[in-house]
Amino acid sequence: MTGHPPDAGQADATDPADQLDLPSFDGRTSLRQQVGDALRALLISGRMRPGVLYSAPKLAARFGVSATPVREAMLDLVGEGLVEVVRNKGFRVTGMTGHELDCLAELRAMIEIPAMAAVAEECTGAVAEAVEALRPRARAICASARRKDLVGYLEADTRFHLDFLALHGNDHLVEVVRDLRSRSRLYGLDALADAGTLGDLAGDHEEMVDVALARRPERMREVMSRHIGLVRSTWAGDAG
């Protein structure tokens, strides 16, 4: 996705917002939601760093939108514990310790691994058709990795996993995983993209499709265990 150039009248060259590669928006959903999704991806990828102060008007200038949806989206992130308000200055990204990241990864493993295995076990008829329909999304994740489009990568990755989990039929489970993913940080994602190895890890997603269609729940457990482990140990690196 292509970001908007900075507005010389509203953002100076040293502002943290100028260092972010921000997407443009398509008008299909509310600006508040689109801005919020983009900010979450920037937070999760580590592009927006803990302790750094971000101004809503200057982020808005970079997005090419008014300040209102940016402030609204930032307040949503405050409610999720991802950023905090700094009175009369802006918003600061909250930090996470390595222990906190380990706890999130442990919870994800406890929930996602058995749920994905259950989908693989039940993968016939309409479920199998829905799993096969996720293949283009798995390939889109790989394409984003090749382009080093981290925001696009994380958005496609989130949609893939949540839609896959939804086939288990437990909406509450999906919402819990959505929350756990939004709280995570992947500080090593930039380095993997630069090294050209992010695409190799992205290949796990199409393997998940193949394993489910083959109805191999134990293999799905292995793939998911490896995948979540890589998210923590390889992608997240040291907490900032």
DSSP letter, residue 233: I
Q: What are the strands, taking DSSP E only, across 17-144?
A: 53-54, 83-86, 90-93
Which whole-number Å values give the CA distances from 112 to 137, 152, 157, 203, 222, in the listed order?
Answer: 19, 22, 14, 18, 12
Is there a common fold for 16-93 and 98-236?
no
Give the pTM: 0.74
Helix, strand or coil, per DSSP, at residue 84: strand
Q: Which CATH number does 16-93 carry?
A: 1.10.10.10
Superfamily of domain 98-236: GntR ligand-binding domain-like (1.20.120.530)
The DSSP string of 136-150 is HHHHHHHHHHHHT-H
Query: pLDDT digit of tens for each residue in the chain (240 aa)?
Result: 334 433 433 434 467 766 666 555 554 458 898 898 888 888 877 788 888 899 999 999 999 999 999 999 999 999 888 899 999 899 998 887 888 888 888 999 999 999 999 999 999 999 999 999 999 999 999 999 888 888 888 889 999 999 999 999 999 999 999 988 888 777 667 777 777 778 877 999 999 999 999 999 999 999 999 888 877 765 555 444
Show me where the domains of the chain are located: 16-93, 98-236
SS3 83: strand
Q: How far is CA 157 from the centre of its chain?
A: 7
